[in-house]
A and B are shown apart, each in its own frame.
Chain A
Amino acid sequence: MSGYRKYFTKKILWFAVTFIVAVLLNFILPRLMPGDPVAVIVSKNAQGMSESTAVIEMYKQYAEEFGVNDPMIVQFFTYFKNALRGDFGVSFSQYPRKVSNIISEAVWWTVGLQLPAIIFGWLIGNILGALAAYLKKGFDKVLMPVSLFLSSIPAFGMAVILLVLFAVKLEIAPTSGGYGFDMIPNFSWSFIRSIISHYQLPFWSIVIYIIGGQALGMRSMSIYELNADYVKYSRFLGIKDKKIVSYVFRNAMLPQITGLALSLGVMIGGALVAEIIFSYPGLGTTLLAAITMADYPLLSATTLIITMMVLITTFAIDFVYGVVDPRVKAAQIDS
């Protein structure tokens, strides 16, 4: 049991450290830019404001909010404390809405879209990769280049292609939004149907975008495992091929779990941009809005939330992996 405890303690410690560094970076990067950050933000927001008193007011308000007059370290702790409480201030672009309010709405759309899509894409990709490694010949000859090509199409590109094909040409799916624009969210059947039909295209574009890379990874992992010594030995013990194949795929699949954790950041980044194509009401669209409107508090909070999502998922995956793969435990005892 000590192997597990060591592994999990280490992971939790890492989580804490990474969390702090992530918040620190989120705090410090925008403040590293030359000049007065408040002035820059105000100048971006004050475009079109003619009255100088309003601009001065605005400046004072943000100077206060940022606490720019305090030393950096004090600023950081204020920021950290607020962030922990989920207080990210007030949005510039959707004044007077609270940033936390906007984010908490968007985050569930993104989680609801990306989590199932990534898991589904991962599963399908792994199955295809395993089949390619096992069946070889024709299937592999086709799947390998197709996977490579699919994984080369950026997520937003896939989104545009699906959108044009299914929404514009065939008109069997809506072009944008998370639900019908004429609807008010409620628990009626028609609303749920609307959500589901709006869900399809973003979902599939993320799935297809993920499948290719995963299939390739699983393919080479499976080929590696198929050549492992235990496969030969198991065969000579008379164990049935079906059973041996199940060994191979389990052993190839397990490292793919860690692979998922490691590529999560890239996947989510790509998927967020794909959301934009569909104006899906998630964090990707929020991010775009924050950048276009120069809404600094919203941007900062969105990036922090995205980082948190990646962190939490990564560590969740690591935990699961630690439990299901005995090799991890053994490695801990060794070191």
Chain B
Amino acid sequence: MRNTILEVRDLRTKYITRFREDIYAVDGVSLKIEEGKSLGVAGESGCGKSTLALSLMGYYFPPLHYTSGDIIVNGRNITALDPDTTRKNVLGKEVAYIPQAAMNALNPTRRIIKFIQDVIKAHIPEMSKQEVRELATERFRILGLPEKVLDQYAVELSGGMKQRTVIAISTILSPKVLIADEPSSALDVTSQKMVIKMLRDLMEKGYIKSMIFITHELPLLYNVTDDIMVMYAGQIVERGSAKDMVFDPKHPYSKGLMGSIIVPEPGTRELELVAIPGTPPNLKNPPKGCRFAPRCKYAEDECLLHEIKMKTFGEGREYRCKFSIDYLTEKYNNGKS
């Protein structure tokens, strides 16, 4: 049995809007990651996956607020810590984050090395500037980034280079968990490949112990992560190994998500191309029963009545649907013929 690095129990966080409305964008999420493993999170935009990324940091500022649940990193519950302890001892050091829009993630008027110094100073104040530079230089060299980037400003870097620099900065303190929120979606194919390779390198060389990779492209996860979970309307609807999830999704939403990929990766091409009709629900007033029911082509009236719990099946798989696996499989097979 491997070490559990991150465990999340029934996490709920909400946005409070300008109009004082509560929006639960993460509504009872539980997950577990073991050392050396990576977890993919997939879902449409607006399903709460980016909020999940922010919520996992254990550090909240308006408009996002913590409501309930536990985040346990390496045996320590970080939701119980006071914000400044979290800032100093958890952020960047234990849980690190790669933002969605790396284009503007770096302060445009600060040299990269200065920024790295700021980061390290916030956690290890006793480290000298010289030591920081040595550390940064070595890390950049190992990760295949040119050393001269250190003395440049963010505005002078290309998009791909910026993203890789951001990854290097986020992992400079060798965090236990890396949360990458769509790190490659805004890049061209070559840069995307480099980013993915870099994340793999970080795992292999042990600079990060585990990773959560968030994307709306389900097939991409097949190549990157060990496990995949699919989110919908702030909840997890299905979880399983990457291979199972891509080739044999069970939940109607996961099924639809696979079908709606415009450029399928090899191996998924034979699947038919169907977009899921409609949009994710407004989380201000989520549907009472199954949240996906209003868009689900298999839904029955009863789906809307009761909240559905996660059910386990097969080898370490879970799904959130009223129907049995056999019933769903049969429906899918009928649909194909």
Would you call B57 and A254 a contact (CB within 8 A)? no
A83 and B101 alpha carbons, distance in the complex (Å): 55
- Interface of chain A residues 305 through 335 with chain B (CB within 8 A): 325-327, 329-331, 333
**Is the CB–CB distance between B91 and A247 below 8 Å?**
no
Q: How far is the CB of A137 from chain B (nearest CB, A)?
A: 12
Q: Indicate if A5 sits at the interface (CB-CB under 8 A).
A: no
A52: min CB distance to chain B, Å: 70
A333–B104 CA distance with the chains assembled, in angstroms:
18
Q: Is the CB of A229 within 8 A of B119?
A: no
Assembly CA distance A229 to B105 (angstroms): 5
Q: Nearest Cβ distance between residue A245 and chain B, in whole angstroms?
A: 12
**For residue B61, which residues in chain A have a CB less than 8 angstroms away from its CB?**
235
Interface string of B57-82 (1 = CB under 8 A from A): 10101000000000000000000000
Which residues of chain B are near A250, meaning CB under 8 Å? 109
How far is A166 from B110 in the complex, measured between Cα atoms in Å? 46
Contacts A237-B170, A330-B155 given; indicate if A251 touches B57 (C-beta within 8 A).
Answer: no
> Which one, A230, A234, A239, A333, contacts B108 given CB within 8 A?
A230
B166 interface neighbour in A232, A233, A327, A330, Cβ under 8 Å: A233
Q: Is the CB of A229 within 8 A of B109?
A: no
Measured in the bound complex, the distance between the Cα atoms of B110 and A230 in whole Å is 11
Q: Please give, as numbers and ranges, the residues of chain A lying within 8 Å of B169 by CB-CB distance.
A: 237
Give the residues from 170 to 185 in chain B that come closer than 8 angstroms, CB to CB, to chain A.
170
Number of A residues, CB within 8 Å of B:
24
Q: CA A228 – CA B107 in complex, angstroms?
A: 9
Do B99 and A327 touch across chains, with their CB atoms under 8 A apart? no
Cβ of A243 under 8 Å from chain B: yes
Contact partners of A327 in chain B: CB under 8 A? 108-109, 153, 155
Cross-chain contact B109 with A238 (CB below 8 angstroms)? no
Q: In the complex, A210 Cα to B109 Cα: how many Å?
A: 27
- Expressed in whole angstroms, the minimum distance between the Cβ of A47 and any Cβ of chain B is 60
- Chain A 221-237 near chain B by CB (<8 Å), digits 1 or 0: 00000001110111111
Q: Please tell me if the beta carbons of B109 and A239 are within 8 angstroms of each other in the complex.
A: no
Q: CA A239 – CA B87 in complex, angstroms? A: 8
Contacts of A325 in B (CB 8 A): 109
**Is A233's CB under 8 angstroms from B155's CB?**
no
Complex interface: chain B residues within 8 A of A240 (CB): 87, 122
User: Interface size on B (CB < 8 Å)?
Assistant: 32
**Which of chain B's residues have a CB closer than 8 A to the CB of A247?**
107, 109-110
- Whether the pair B118, A330 counts as a contact (CB closer than 8 A) is no
CB proximity to A under 8 Å, residues B251-265: none
Give the distance in Å from the alpha carbon of A254 to the alpha carbon of B88 in the complex. Answer: 30
Cβ-defined contact, A333 with B106, below 8 A: no
From the candidates A236, A238, A326, name the one contacting B156 in the complex (CB within 8 A): A326
Using CB atoms, name the residue of chain B closest to A231: B107
Please report the C-alpha to C-alpha distance between residue A245 and residue B118 in the assembled complex, in whole angstroms: 13
Interface: B164 (CB within 8 A): no
User: In the complex, which residues of chain A have a beta carbon less than 8 angstroms from the beta carbon of B119?
Assistant: 237-239
**Given A236-B57, A326-B156: A229 and B99 within 8 A (CB)?**
yes
A329 to B101, CA, bound (A): 23
Given A243-B118, A327-B155, A330-B153, A236 and B97 touching (CB < 8 A)?
A: yes
What is the distance, in angstroms, from A325's C-beta to the closest C-beta of chain B?
6
**Which chain A residue lies CB-closest to B101?**
A229
Report the Cα distance A331→B93, complex, angstroms.
Answer: 35
Determine the distance from Cα of A236 to Cα of B122 in the docked complex, in whole angstroms: 11
Whose C-beta in chain A lies nearest to the C-beta of B88? Answer: A238
Neighbouring A residues of B97 by C-beta, 8 Å: 233, 236-237
Shortest Cβ gap from A42 to chain B (Å):
59
What is the distance, in angstroms, from A5's C-beta to the closest C-beta of chain B?
16
Q: Are B91 and A237 in contact (CB under 8 A)?
A: yes
The chain B residue with its CB closest to the CB of A247 is B107
Contact of A238 (CB < 8 Å), options: B104, B123, B155: B123
Q: Are B118 and A233 in contact (CB under 8 A)?
A: no
A234 and B170 contact, CB distance less than 8 A: no
Known: A235-B61, A237-B169, A243-B122. A251 touches B108 (CB 8 A): yes
Interchain CB contact under 8 A, A239 and B155? no
Is the beta-carbon distance between A233 and B109 smaller than 8 angstroms?
no
Q: How far is the CB of A82 from chain B (nearest CB, A)?
A: 45
Q: A230 CA to B112 CA in the complex, in Å?
A: 13
Q: For B54, B106, B122, B123, which residue has the most chain A Cβ atoms within 10 angstroms?
A: B122
Using a CB-CB cutoff of 8 Å, which residues 86-124 of chain B contact chain A?
A: 87-88, 90-93, 96-97, 99, 101, 103-110, 118-119, 122-123
Q: Measured between alpha carbons, how far is A219 from B104 in the docked complex, in Å?
A: 21
Contact yes or no, B109 A254, CB < 8 A: yes
B residues near A326, Cβ cutoff 8 Å? 108-109, 153, 155-156
A residues within 8 A CB of B155?
326-327, 329-331
Chain A residue at minimal CB-CB distance from B104: A229
> How many Å lie between the Cα of A326 and that of B112 in the bound state?
12
Using A229-B99, A250-B109, A326-B109 as known contacts, say yes or no to A238 and B153 having CB atoms under 8 A apart.
Answer: no
Q: In the assembled complex, how far is the CB of residue A121 from the closest CB belonging to chain B, in whole angstroms?
A: 24
A-binding residues in B (CB < 8 A): 54, 57, 59, 61, 87-88, 90-93, 96-97, 99, 101, 103-110, 118-119, 122-123, 153, 155-156, 166, 169-170
Q: List 27 A-B contacts (CB under 8 A).
A: A229-B105, A230-B104, A230-B105, A230-B106, A232-B99, A234-B118, A235-B59, A235-B61, A236-B57, A236-B91, A236-B96, A237-B119, A237-B170, A238-B87, A238-B122, A239-B119, A240-B122, A247-B107, A247-B109, A247-B110, A325-B109, A326-B108, A326-B155, A326-B156, A327-B153, A329-B153, A330-B155
- Beyond A229-B104, A234-B107, 14 additional pairs, beta carbon < 8 A: A229-B105, A230-B108, A233-B105, A234-B118, A236-B91, A237-B96, A237-B119, A238-B119, A238-B122, A239-B118, A239-B122, A254-B109, A326-B108, A329-B153
